[in-house]
Amino acid sequence: MIQPILWLILSLGIILLGAELFTNGIEWFGRRLQLAEGAIGSVLAAVGTAMPETMIPIIALVFSKEAQSDQIGIGAILGAPLMLSTVAFFVTGVAVFGFSAARRRTPRLSVDPAILGRDLRSFFLVYAVAIGAAFLPGRPYKILVAVFLVAAYVYYVRQTFRYATGPGREHELGPLHFHREAEVPRLRIIVSQVFASLVLIVGGAHLFVKHLSHIALASGVSAFVLATIIAPIATELPEKFNSVTWIRQRKDTLALGNISGAMVFQSSILPAIGLVFTQWVLDTQALATAIAALAASIFAWAELTWRKRLSPYTLLAGILFYAAYIIYTFSRNPHG
């Protein structure tokens, strides 16, 4: 048991290193291309750090021949949005209060309600369509929904860049890690750092899931529970750590846009994969996973809509939705 635990610690360090390189590189990439802050957080950072959780269902559903591959794939698809809309928001809220106590920032969040509100609204509307597709009578209808989900994400990206027509607020950027001497690093070096960071993120998450899976399977956890609860802990770490980094730097729109943008990606592209490569039949356990994610996102969206701001206490409330799901899961089947 000691060896898998050591591998877990090593893989966590790899993911942390990759996340640091990524946040530093993607900000320089956005600065060089004169992109707005919302576009950097909601599209570039979100899609880049969503790669680990995207790889799991692709490998499970397309390439794996294991008997439980469908359960693992669907569990990974549903577990990713759950983790982001609950635990990732909670971690971000904790970071706000932690850095505020250390006098690194104020406890008040400074986010663009239009950007974050659009992300959350896009998430729960598109995700509801994806979950509703499980009740359609035939596979052709589900394929049509998959096409719709991909088109919806393309439209979201288009609207994000259309809204973000100019560069965002000019923040002080630390030197690029791959070229610390340069005041303005070359684009090819920036791209090299971003690519290297993604390799580290994907590789570290793969190691984490692999060795965490060994521990979980040895304890008798089911494949679906493994994929929805345990695997996303690793695959969602990039979003969490990137956002904590940006919260520390008082870049709240980047921090929360990184999470909410990944949620939109995972409510559209990942379910589209499931609709194409599985029968997409969801049992009560799967539906509970989706309901918890939808409820948490609507809760945050409601405050943004009514108060035009987001409180860190609302972010902390995300853990309540996650806890409710965990309690339901293990009260329904204590052995997973």
Give the pLDDT confidence score for residue 168 in this predicted structure. Answer: 47
Residue 174 binned pLDDT confidence (cut-offs 50, 70, 90): confident
- Sign of the Cα torsion 112, 116, 121, 122 reads positive
Chain-centre distance for alpha carbon 218 = 27
Q: Which DSSP symbol is given to 134?
A: G
- Do 204 and 12 contact (CB within 8 A), yes or no? yes
| Domains of the chain: residue spans and CATH | 36-165+221-332 (1.20.1420.30)
Task: Convert the pLDDT of each residue in 75-121 to its tens digit.
Answer: 889 998 999 999 999 999 999 999 999 988 999 998 888 889 999 99
Report whether pLDDT(31) > 70: yes
d(CA 123, CA 57): 19
For 45-49, 150-154, 325-329, which range has the lowest pLDDT when averaged over its residues? 45-49
**pLDDT for residue 46 is more than 80:** no
* Angle 231-236-239 from CA coordinates, rounded to 5°: 175
User: Can you give the pTM of this predicted structure?
Assistant: 0.79
167 has pLDDT over 60: no
Tell me whether residue 252 is exposed, middle or buried, using C-beta atoms within 10 angstroms of its C-beta: 0 to 12, 13 to 18, 19 or more.
buried
Q: Which two tokens stand for residue 160?
A: 């994000």
pLDDT in tens, 115-128: 899 999 999 999 99
**Closest by CA position to 159, among listed 207, 132, 122:** 122
3-class secondary-structure state, position 247: helix
Compute the distance between CA of residue 253 and CA of residue 223 in angstroms, rounded to an integer: 36
Rounded to the nearest angstrom, the gap between the alpha carbon of residue 209 and the centroid of all alpha carbons in its chain is 16
